[in-house]
Amino acid sequence: MPVRTVATTTVSSSPPRLRDAWVALSGLSAVFLFEMLDNSVLNVALPTIGRDLAASTGSLQWVSGAYSVAFGGLMLLFGAVSDRVGRRRVMLVGLTLLACTSMLTVIVTSVEQLVVVRGLMGVAAAMTTPGSMALAFRLFSTEDLRVRALTVISTAGLVGLAVGPTVGGFVLAVAPWQVLLVANAPIAAIAFLGIRAGISADRPDDLHRDPVDVAGALLGTATVIGALVAPTLFVVSTSDRTAWFAMAATVVAATGFVVRERTARHPLLDLRLVTQPLVASGLAYKAAAGLAMAGLSYMVALQLQLAWGWSPALAAVGTLPQVVVLLASGRLVGPFVRRVGLDLAAWTSAAAVVAGLAVFAKLGRFGYPWVLTGLVLVAAGMRVVGVVAGTTVLRGLPADRTSVGAALVDTASELATAVGIAATGTILAALVGGSITATTWTPAQSHSFQAAISVAGLTLTAVAAALVGLGTVSARRTTTSTTPITQESSDV
């Protein structure tokens, strides 16, 4: 049963230059800034939050994980809704929700309340992010301008990802940690104004009216949440029976999702799209980069402060090289992609991210120079992956499925982010005795922490390397694939 083709989207009034769309790009960049800044700015504050709210090791990881779980679990649903009712409309509602939930942080008094707020912020992110990439891709009609536009937008996001720990550390020196989350409200306001003023409402021809696959959405969300929660239950739950039940329920939900999407007349996600070479390779690279970046940021923040005793401000300075690399390499992305091509740029940059994680996992305990090397490699790789992976996926999808395609890209990234945080937190909780937020550590606890960091880092490195290998193999299939997707034969 064939599916739709990649049609090069023709934009009737495409701006001839990036500067002609600066209002729209500003709004879209603010969305990506929030998405990437959110968890990174919180990483450096985790020890402070843990002590302030008396959080256990297991609950502390969900201060970050709740956002990623909600974001990743609901993104496909909101991507599908956006393709039906309008990407701009859904984004504006999501930005309003983001501003409101960010302000709720000021009344949080327990870690459980904070986890709920973080989950609501993840819902808002799931509503805004898929449409932003789709609109950026379709704003311009030529591949060169699309790459440059996505470079501008991803720059805001990646700089936010890198500058988050630095900003967070300095803010914590003069203000309570709640300020870090309340700051999302003005970012959401900027994005709202830029998108409302700079982007027109979706044309009916760019949308489709297939009914939303509610059953598929529920099964998909259950699968994502189960896959992330079940492993942690083996450590934090007092009953192994609960953990095994959660694992079994996840398998059942995943099986049901696959069956539903293969048999539904209007599936939430046409699984055949995921198997297209361009789509599969881009998603694999994006997932590898997200896994490595999330795991490294989480582990570096904890190691610098807890194991080495650095203050939040000094830890912020320690992560500053990421910002320098991301800012300095911005103008090099376009020429690099044009010189080597999207495929080679994708796998080499993803490999650099994995190499950086491996360096930290194996050598980071021996001193800051090794931590610095890992940070620089990951930042350089992420700078390119952030652009080429999304472009690759959207090139492989139909014009009226761009929001779902963008949702796939960010779902891959957010799931990988959540997996990286959940896996690291679970390994630390399993291998480190006592609470990692304790003010003083015994020598035995310090040794077990460093050993756990190495185990977690090497585990994530192996998974990320496997994803890069999968992406490379999928990319090579592009030149041999003889079954293009045709737009006329899309009805399912």
Number of Cβ within a 10 Å radius of residue 344: 15
State the pLDDT at residue 463. 92
Answer whether 360's CB lies under 8 Å from 296's CB.
Answer: yes
State the pLDDT at residue 492. 30
Answer whether 79's CB lies under 8 Å from 220's CB.
Answer: no
Q: How many helices (H) and strands (E) does the chain have?
A: 19, 0
For the chain, give the mean pLDDT. Answer: 80
User: Which carries the bigger pLDDT value, residue 298 or residue 130?
Assistant: 298
pLDDT at 484 over 50: no
State the pLDDT at residue 490. 34
Listed residue (249, 213, 233) closest to 78, CA to CA: 213
Question: Does the structural domain 19-201 have CATH classification 3.30.1490.20?
Answer: no
d(CA 50, CA 434): 13
pLDDT band at 1 (very low <50, low <70, confident <90, very high): very low
Answer whether 152's CB lies under 8 Å from 391's CB.
Answer: no
State the pLDDT at residue 489. 34
DSSP 295: H
d(CA 233, CA 252): 18
d(CA 188, CA 192): 6
Residues in contact with 172: Cβ distance below 8 Å, sequence separation at least 6, in sequence order: 44, 45, 48, 180, 312, 313
pLDDT at 146 over 90: no
Segment 462-469 shows an average pLDDT of 92
State the pLDDT at residue 377. 92
| Helix ranges (DSSP H) in 16-86 | 22-43, 46-52, 57-85
What does the block give as tokens for 487?
């737009």
Listed residue (257, 275, 251) closest to 220, CA to CA: 257
Q: What is the CATH number of domain 271-478?
A: 1.20.1250.20
Segment 202-207 shows an average pLDDT of 73
Out of 38-42, 311-315, 321-325, 373-377, which region has the weakest mean confidence (pLDDT)?
38-42
Residue 396: φ, ψ to 5°: -95, 10
> Please, what's the largest Cα pairwise distance for the chain?
67
pLDDT at 253 over 70: yes
Answer whether 3's CB lies under 8 Å from 490's CB.
Answer: yes
pLDDT at 488 over 50: no
The residues spanned by each domain of the chain are 19-201, 271-478
Same fold? 19-201, 271-478: yes
Helix, strand or coil, per DSSP, at residue 484: coil
Answer whether 336's CB lies under 8 Å from 345's CB.
Answer: yes
Residue 60: φ, ψ to 5°: -65, -40
Over residues 34-89, the pLDDT tens digits come to 877 776 777 778 888 888 888 776 677 778 778 877 887 787 788 778 878 888 88
pLDDT band at 162 (very low <50, low <70, confident <90, very high): low
Over residues 208-225, the pLDDT tens digits come to 677 888 888 889 888 877
pLDDT band at 363 (very low <50, low <70, confident <90, very high): very high
pLDDT at 308 over 90: no
Over residues 425-439, the pLDDT tens digits come to 778 877 876 666 666
Over residues 5-45, the pLDDT tens digits come to 343 444 446 777 777 778 888 888 888 888 777 767 777 78
pLDDT at 349 over 70: yes
Residue 455: exposure state from Cβ atoms within 10 A (0-12, 13-18, ≥19): middle
Residue 212: φ, ψ to 5°: -75, 135
Q: How many alpha carbons fall within 13 Å on the CB side of residue 42?
A: 28
Residue 276: exposure state from Cβ atoms within 10 A (0-12, 13-18, ≥19): buried
Listed residue (133, 47, 123) closest to 87, CA to CA: 133
Residue 199: φ, ψ to 5°: -125, 130
Listed residue (421, 416, 414, 423) closest to 68, CA to CA: 414
What does the block give as tokens for 396?
């492989």
Query: For 260-343, where are the E strands, in sequence order?
Result: none
